[in-house]
Structure 1
Amino acid sequence: SDLDVLRSAYEQMRNRLEKAWAARAEGVPLKSAYAALILASIIEKETGQGTDRPLIASVFANRLRTGMLLQTDPTVIYGMGERFDGNLRRRDLDRDTAYNTYTRPGLPPTPISMPSMASIEAALNPPASDYYYFVARGDGSSEFSRNLAEHNRAVRRFQLTRRSGDS
């Protein structure tokens, strides 16, 4: 039955998650396997190119360790539900919801997607980096930055250029 298939998939994911949690890197800033699942779900939604997954994980780990807001658009979009029309606006980023990582510290209350094992592994084994920001380049890959000034330059280069090319 459909329920048996779902139950089996759930058990497989739970077992894989528990094994990955037991083998996690030392110093991972997560309190539970469920927190790892939540972070992995964000990494999954933020990753356009699989090779960027570890560095995206490192950005979020660095932010969690230092108490910075995660400021990730996919959580805001998830929290908007049916109201999301494909265009994320400043007012959406400012509206406080349980899933708004621009207004609330830490992780959202639940996963926002079904993450791949690659995203779970990245969440539990982020490489050491000094990156705190990233922006989509427009080709599926991400540009990583160490500080806000670098990030703002990357946003201007990749996001604003892409928007002017869209019109």
Structure 2
Amino acid sequence: MKQTYPLPVHHSWPLYERDRFFELGQIHGCDTLDPVPDITYIVGSARPGQMQPGVWECDLVDNNRLSWSGEIYDIFGIPRDAAITREETVALYCEGSRAAMEKLRAYAIKHRRGFTLDVEIQPAAAPRRWMRLIAAPVCAGDQVVKLQGLKFLAPGAHD
């Protein structure tokens, strides 16, 4: 029996609450992200049978260049050695989720706020699924230069 995903999370939050919201990864049995501004790894592991959360980054200064850990490729059903672009990746979001993500992303960049959002995606080589996206801007002075965060399959959203 296919499980229906509950109402999705949709929440914007101020940067001073960054540590608290990145700890949301613990709902998947993970520890928190490295608390330093340059996220490079996740400590801990997923529960048995669950995919490890992945770390991602979007460099706004370098034409939205994406950097992903291997787990993000797995979530999107893309081979780990494939070249990726933001445009191609965003096309894998279902329409309503894509619109919500783009709206929160623009708000995060404009107002220097993080966000948490559950989105429905249609991976390249897998059935539709729900993914939790946690994002926070990285600032250099008053300018947002990157977005970075976590992506992982949302609770109850497995194939």
What TM-score do you get using the length of structure 1 for normalisation? 0.29
> Which structure dedicates a bigger proportion of its chain to helix?
1
What TM-score do you get using the length of structure 2 for normalisation? 0.30
> Which structure dedicates a bigger proportion of its chain to strand?
2
